[in-house]
């Protein structure tokens, strides 16, 4: 699939063209180039994104990273930064979007991102987050408060009762 077809596929998935989608599109293409990545049928490619913005949709389409597969993880920091990992080679890279010229309209920003090569948009850095383990499957446990079934890693013991996070009382010694 050529770059234009890939862009059209990303746009169809996202719903519209925008600068944010372009950021993820360019990040995914750059990660492919730097790490020799291919579409991930399982968890061979992992992306840890530091934002939950439009660009994440392009990463899903191009690299096959998804929340459901467990190879798209959110480490929300409000940054246009993406860490990519190739499990097969053990290589990784963190791409951080460089500042664009100030005072651009939305249309000018879109044109700016579209017209620049990925290497001109991102700083390439070492990853700061260790490669996350592969996704685990957890047993299901019935909450003794609401009766709903919950993954065992999301159950809290409170006064001898198994409670989901919604039913368990909040506990923080600093928020009193």
Dump pLDDT digits (tens) for 91-128. 999 999 999 999 999 999 999 999 999 999 999 999 99
Q: What is the mean pLDDT of residues 71-76?
A: 97
Give the mean pLDDT of the chain: 95
pTM of the model: 0.86
Residues of the chain within CATH 3.30.60.20 domain(s) are 136-176
Per cent of the chain over pLDDT 70 is: 99
* CATH fold for the domain made of 3-125: 60s Ribosomal Protein L30; Chain: A; (3.30.1330)
Beta-strand ranges (E) seen in the chain are: 45-49, 72-74, 81-86, 91-97, 122-125, 140-142, 149-151, 155-158, 161-164
For 136-176, CATH number out of 3.30.60.20, 3.50.50.60, 3.40.50.720, 3.40.630.30 equals 3.30.60.20
Residues of the chain within CATH 3.30.1330.130 domain(s) are 3-125
Examine the pLDDT at 37 and tell me if it is beyond 80.
Answer: yes
């Amino acid at each position: 699939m050529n770059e234009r077809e890939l862009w059209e596929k990303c746009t169809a998935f996202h719903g519209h063209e925008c600068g944010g989608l372009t950021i993820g599109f360019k990040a995914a293409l750059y990660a492919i180039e730097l790490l020799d990545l291919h579409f991930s049928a399982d968890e061979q490619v992992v992306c840890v994104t530091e934002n939950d913005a439009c660009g994440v949709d392009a990463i899903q389409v191009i690299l096959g990273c998804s929340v459901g597969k467990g190879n798209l993880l959110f480490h929300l920091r409000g940054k246009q930064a993406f860490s990519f990992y190739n499990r097969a080679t053990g290589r990784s890279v963190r791409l951080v979007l460089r500042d664009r010229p100030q005072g651009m309209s939305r249309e000018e920003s879109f044109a700016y991102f579209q017209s620049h090569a990925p290497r001109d948009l991102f700083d390439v850095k070492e990853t700061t987050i260790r490669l996350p383990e592969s996704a685990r499957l957890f047993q299901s446990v019935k909450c003794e408060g609401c009766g709903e079934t919950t993954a065992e890693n999301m159950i809290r013991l409170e006064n001898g009762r198994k409670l989901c996070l919604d039913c368990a009382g909040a506990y923080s010694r600093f928020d009193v």
